[in-house]
Structure 1
Amino acid sequence: MRDGSTVLVTGAAGFIGSNLVGALSEALPTARIVGLDREPNPGNYKRWLTVDLADKDEVRQTLATLEVDLVIHLAAQAYVPGSLERPEDYVRDNVLATSNLLVALQERIVIPPIILASSCEVYGDQLDQTDEAVDPAPKSPYAATKLAQEHLIEASAAAFDVRYVICRLFNNFGPGQQHNRLVPSAIRAALRNEPFQLCGDGTAVRDWIDVRDTCAAIAQIARLRCEGVPTRLNLGAECPLAVAEVLAEVEHTFQLRLCITRQDDMPGHLRTTIANSQLARDALGWLPTRHLRDYLNEVLELITSDHSRYLTPPAPGSPW
């Protein structure tokens, strides 16, 4: 990208967005990075816009006066159980918001390239490693809305000749993750000697990747402005672990036993998601370098130095 380019990051207050700014600053040291979210700035973006993408007029007014050379679209609700309880919220915040963003961008003389953070959930259950050629088969409203985001961007790109890359993200863990996700909730339960509620039998397999590795890949796509990059990329570490294995890693690292209570698995949960990320590795020269045990040891060191860290849920951008 040219010096002084402006990168707009939507959903910048979230888990991925709060980690991405550092990777972008390293990959694009001269770029102006602008965070956009309806939530407040977590503190790591120098430039910030408080905007609800579901408000069409607000989006159009904001983007009409903003120079943008690249858009990284992270904004979305991303929780399968929540989508089953409130599917209308996911249609609003994932589908309508994406449509509003694209309509506003289409009013520009030159439409900037777009990077979309999609999800492995669009694939549905797969028995083995999944590559980008597998036909989507969403099993939850969340997955369906992520696939709808993809289709909206593909249609816009076809109509207006826009460069784009769709990144299908796998199971991220790392600094600042929402406290109701598996890894941070297991850590807190272990440290506080509280019951840990396990949905299902613990045999569901996920491909686990550190959020900082995911952000490094997205930053590299941004540096290339999507040029020469395949339009769909899996971003996974090819590191499958069953849920029970993740819990065992937590117990091993912290030398504590989890008090596990079980409940029936929730509808819409996938049994197996394992990435084939060879396309991203080849196209980006990218290789995930962090493993779950590395992150757990990192958290252990932080908690050892400040034992109060586990008493409150992690905030976006916090160390765990």
Structure 2
Amino acid sequence: MSALRASRWFPLVWALPLAAVLLVLAVLGSQWFLRSSAGQEFLAAYPGASAVPEGTPEGFPWWMKWQHALNFFLIVLIIRAGWLLRVQQRPEAYWTRRNTGRFKTRKPPTKMSLYLWLHLLMDALWVPNGILFGVLLLVTGSWRRIVPTSWDVFPNAVSAALQYLSLNFPVNEPFLNYNALQVLAYFTTVFVAAPLAAVTGIRMSPAWRAEWKISKVYPVELARALHLPTMFYFVVFIVTHVALVLVTDLRLNLNAMYSWHDEPNPTSWWGLVVFMGVLVVVVAGWVAARPIFMQSVASMSGKVTRR
């Protein structure tokens, strides 16, 4: 028993049951409110979704589908490498850039953990992909689907949250319009959390020099204080997003983002088939994110050494 108390997982002994009790109370409370006259009036005024602006494109273009899959792969590996960087006490292996050719400098190249190398490599792919995604959102008008355009998005988001909690889910029309809670979540993820992760990650990069004047205005301590909570936000968002996709309408949701159908198709299984393929690639990347597998790739651009 003393060993259990000393474990860092001991808080879960009481935290998980408490969370379960609170969740049950939230479900029962939401059901009671929505069945009351006040709840019915609230639902009538705020059904859970704001009207989309005129001219908003319907459906999901091909570029959004492949970027969604690529982004899923990259962000999972970024989170994995970032967390291993935080918890590892002694790196299993190191990577040092070759100081030759056009990359030759007077200062010796920085020696870094192989997990940091992976984290930076995935970032170097994730950031341009995110920029391209933002540009395509703007030029195609698809930004209207995830950017709030009226203040009623907030009471509608509360309404959608209550409907989720009551287990009587809000209307699910992914091809036409997101509910208000989805709009706020997607807006926060694309336009707040992703840029924040990028700018704080860049500040924490080993390429940043302490003698640069901007270091006084933007200290690395501030970047670290913001970067970790942003990572936790992405973890919560991904887990919640995937869970709701699975429980609200599995085939319709996966067909929307992973099949070639241009119209809603709640009966096809192709979206699930493609998603399972993407999931296999993500799991393979997760398993391969270890020094024994990474060193052969990392050695192509630098020297890999063991501790």
The structure with the greater share of residues assigned to helix is 2
TM-score of the alignment, normalized to the shorter chain, above 0.5: no
Q: TM-score, normalised by structure 2?
A: 0.21
